[in-house]
Chains A and B, each alone.
Chain A
């Protein structure tokens, strides 16, 4: 039991040290204008930048919206899920 806890803590420390990406995936239901508005609200992006990401999602199926520490990345994904967007976090390549 004790070993498991140590291993978990080590893994978390390692994971929090590497960059994580917030990825938004394409969804045929959400309106493009709605997705743009959400990117502006959640990330504080300009209309132009938000639209660029929205178009990338639309044409390529996904867009990386933000990269950084794991904790804020999880926070952003939670916000995006609150707006019902398909969002995940993944280790930055």
Chain B
């Protein structure tokens, strides 16, 4: 009956956001008076697997098939089904990231189960099995009741603060027989972005808009981001004008970010942009127009010219770090 959680790894390392999914599963297990089991796929050291006990799972099932080092969603889904059968799991959890989004809906169909994509709360069992999620790109939230016997949830990263405990999980190897169809997609080329902080996972984001006046001024955004260890983002007009690459576009038709800190520089705050950022815990707005709508959604505001303020802010961060 245990709660099953899929734990991703990249080259044998487990990312922080995967621990969040593990911890979520452990909490749901507690709520439903059962234990949590993690499923890990591909090449990874046993010590990494045992350490998942720190986040509340008792047991780790490991499918040590090196073909699973890359995302093969059909194989992942079949591994989950095998693990769920073995454990008698009725609740299956994974991250709401690119991998989870490709795997979870397949599992939901296979098990004829309801699914919540991007959970922002633990299930409320007093009203059934009700989970909160963002809708309209963050303009509102919905409470979804899963009524099927088996339940599938993808968990939104950076929504559940991590508390590292002290535990050691037992590791068990799981053999899964895969078919040709499970590896129908052939990977020809992989380009991993290294060095930069990825926007979707970033805890700090510095974002620029038209107030930056041109791509030649983006060094100021990058300097501040570098000093903070933040990712960089931009508004839609900036991406459309070709000042910045499109993957940096944040908003209702771009990416959604949920950092601890979002610094918006020279962005007026159109409703579409706000939709993509209002999951941010703290928002700082720097804009020369005191009437910019973004100020209404901000925690801290600075009125003034972005090009003058940015170097000062970068300098202040430098000074702060030096004295910390």
Task: Tell whether A pairs with B.
Answer: no
A-side residues, CB < 8 A to B, are none
B-side residues, CB < 8 A to A, are none
